[in-house]
Structure 1
């Protein structure tokens, strides 16, 4: 039987990257105790205001079809939110509501690239980025991030990878997996490069509200001079502890939104009205849970650093935002994948191998900060003992 070429392009880019996570779930199902530090599930329940708004919508019969752009009330709330945060006016016509950031990113790359086009993206990167890039036939061009630069994308490194086929500069700040946050100067330099080479900027900003205390968030949307070439994606999954709601959006120039609308309508025709109502209620005021999560995740990252930094050659990268910390385990002589699989088998601690996030993180681990303090401390001690045994062997 014959298949479309997209199935070949995406082979191995889906669940295969999460093999350690699935193995951990399998062990749990068999009754083994596992400390799961693999995925970014918020550590608090979905706020009651979202649940109440969704229930009210259901009870009011808000279960019919939406339109392709999204519900008018949500689009108005989004326009007001971005106008206030970015310091310039946004209109409802600059937004599309979609089911989660993943769907948004698929739409953006499909709308901006064709076969043979190149997308510049930081390496390491979130595990699904290669898939959303390659789905359209575009070519991913990884730009190596450096721990010495705090895993912040450098304009000079991007410039060295630009070719006549370059079409999109794909940004992610706050960054998953490193937790790095691009500064305003970083954004300005990258934006100027995009202007010089006529590149679109796609900006994944899903962790904006989980910036740690004392750290400032910046977006290319802050700069009017980049407005005609920037499209950004976000959702309530992280900021409002509602990943199962699958409620996200994109924001960009009105012309882009108009051109992308038929594609969005072909994929799915708008998000669910009762979930749009809940999302509007969530975004009408600051998140009740984001600040607390950011403080806890910073404290846990600091604790992880204090326990593991320098032990058996381990190095810990301290994040500035988000839900994860990185551990360099190259001194063990093992790949990140081998370390993670053996750690899980021997100790019941499940972490993600860095290789799942690109070649730039080979020999590293990504550790979720979303488990309770005591569990994370127990896991850190297990990682330390495992690393010591590897060095002694």
Structure 2
């Protein structure tokens, strides 16, 4: 039988990048006690007041069909949020609602790029970006995010990779997996390159409220970039509600008008009771984000104290997000090999840097959404393995 070419383009992506995480879950089911630092899932429950709103909405009958753009209440809440943030009027026609940021990214990219186009991303990059790009038929082109620049994209590095085929820059700030936060000047300089070469900017801003050091800056907030920028985000991280799958995009009215039929052909709306909960959540400061910022920063500092400078490991506190990197290249192993040995020998599960691009080879990504005592124990396991490897290299 014959299959669509998209299935070939996406072969080897998706769950293949999460081999260590999947193996860790298998070991847990077999009875092993695994310290799991692989995925970025908030370790605090979804706030009860948000759940109460969703429950009341369901019981009041808000369980029917929605429309393709989004429920009026959540569109109004998003309009208020982005109008206040950008300083210009953002209307319902600028917004579309989706089941989470991943869906928003996928549909936005399908509306912008196709075979023959190039989509530019940073490298390192979030593990699903390869699939998002390949699904469109476009080719992904990498901009190296350099450690000496704090893994923040530099405009000069971006300009070097642009060709006549370039169509879209997929930007991510705050950045996963590195935790880097672009400054206002860096965003302005990147935006100027995009204006010069007539590129769209898709800005993944899901970690906007989880910044430890620095100020959030978005190309959407700059008037000169407004007509070429589409921002995507959700309540998954900011409000500790990943399972509710509530996200959105904000961009030019002409873009959302063109994207609407594509979205409707796939989704035709999100759940009204979740939209009501989202509207409520967006109408006030996120207590969940404040709690997570405090605990994630403390844990990042703990990991850095336990690992940085030990057995050749380098691990610096990130600017934002739910993860911290550990450079284990001094051990002589790849991130893939170190992570799998760490799991099998120390029962600690982390993500290898190779899952996030070739420029993170020899790194590990550790989740901060795990209790302090488990993080401490995980660090001890990492040090033990790194020390054994260092001893063998010396011998």
Same-fold status (TM-score > 0.5): yes
Provide the residue aligned with 1:332 in structure 2.
Answer: 331
Which piece of structure 1 moves more, 80-89 or 112-121?
A: 80-89
1:25-36 to structure 2, matched below 5 A, reads 25-36=25-36
Provide the residue aligned with 1:101 in structure 2.
Answer: 101
Report deviation, 1:383.
0.5
Determine whether 1:370 maps to 2:369. yes
Provide the residue aligned with 1:301 in structure 2.
Answer: 300
Cα distance in structure 2, aligned partners of 1:301 and 1:27: 26
Provide the residue aligned with 2:88 in structure 1.
Answer: 88
Determine whether 1:249 maps to 2:248. yes
Q: Is the Cα–Cα contact under 8 Å of residues 178 and 317 in structure 1 kept in the other structure? A: no
Provide the residue aligned with 1:312 in structure 2.
Answer: 311
Cα distance in structure 1, aligned partners of 2:316 and 2:114: 36
Q: Deviations over 1:126-154 (max 9, x none)?
A: 00001000101000001111110000001
Cα distance in structure 1, aligned partners of 2:257 and 2:10: 28
Provide the residue aligned with 2:385 in structure 1.
Answer: 386
Provide the residue aligned with 2:270 in structure 1.
Answer: 271
Q: Deviations over 1:259-288 (max 9, x none)?
A: 110111011101000100011111011111
Provide the residue aligned with 1:156 in structure 2.
Answer: 156
Provide the residue aligned with 2:7 in structure 1.
Answer: 7
Determine whether 1:77 maps to 2:77. yes
TM-score by length of 1: 0.99
Report deviation, 1:199.
0.3
Q: Is the Cα–Cα contact under 8 Å of residues 49 and 281 in structure 1 kept in the other structure? A: no
Report deviation, 1:167.
0.3
CA distance 1:133–1:387, shift in 2 (3 Å): same
Cα distance in structure 2, aligned partners of 1:332 and 1:164: 41
1:142-181 to structure 2, matched below 5 A, reads 142-181=142-181
Task: Count residues with an aligned counterpart.
Answer: 392
Provide the residue aligned with 1:114 in structure 2.
Answer: 114
Runs of 4+ off more than 6 Å: none
Report deviation, 1:381.
1.1
Provide the residue aligned with 1:187 in structure 2.
Answer: 187
1:9-88 to structure 2, matched below 5 A, reads 9-88=9-88
SS of the residue corresponding to residue 56 of structure 2 reads helix
Cα distance in structure 1, aligned partners of 2:72 and 2:205: 22
Report deviation, 1:357.
0.5
Cα distance in structure 1, aligned partners of 2:229 and 2:266: 22
Q: Is the Cα–Cα contact under 8 Å of residues 183 and 214 in structure 2 kept in the other structure? A: no
Cα distance in structure 1, aligned partners of 2:369 and 2:327: 20
Report deviation, 1:11.
0.4
Give the RMSD, CA atoms, in angstroms.
0.7
Report deviation, 1:105.
0.3
Q: Is the Cα–Cα contact under 8 Å of residues 351 and 367 in structure 1 kept in the other structure? A: yes
SS of the residue corresponding to residue 143 of structure 2 reads strand
Q: Deviations over 1:77-110 (max 9, x none)?
A: 1000111122222111110000000000001110
Q: Deviations over 1:18-67 (max 9, x none)?
A: 01001111111111100000000102100012101110111011111100
Cα distance in structure 2, aligned partners of 1:157 and 1:34: 40
Report deviation, 1:317.
3.2
Q: Is the Cα–Cα contact under 8 Å of residues 20 and 350 in structure 1 kept in the other structure? A: yes
Cα distance in structure 2, aligned partners of 1:88 and 1:340: 47
Report deviation, 1:318.
2.0
SS of the residue corresponding to residue 96 of structure 1 reads strand
Determine whether 1:127 maps to 2:127. yes
Q: Is the Cα–Cα contact under 8 Å of residues 109 and 133 in structure 1 kept in the other structure? A: yes
Q: Is the Cα–Cα contact under 8 Å of residues 116 and 139 in structure 1 kept in the other structure? A: yes
Provide the residue aligned with 2:197 in structure 1.
Answer: 197
Q: Deviations over 1:106-130 (max 9, x none)?
A: 0111000010100110000000001
TM-score by length of 2: 0.98
Cα distance in structure 1, aligned partners of 2:254 and 2:265: 18
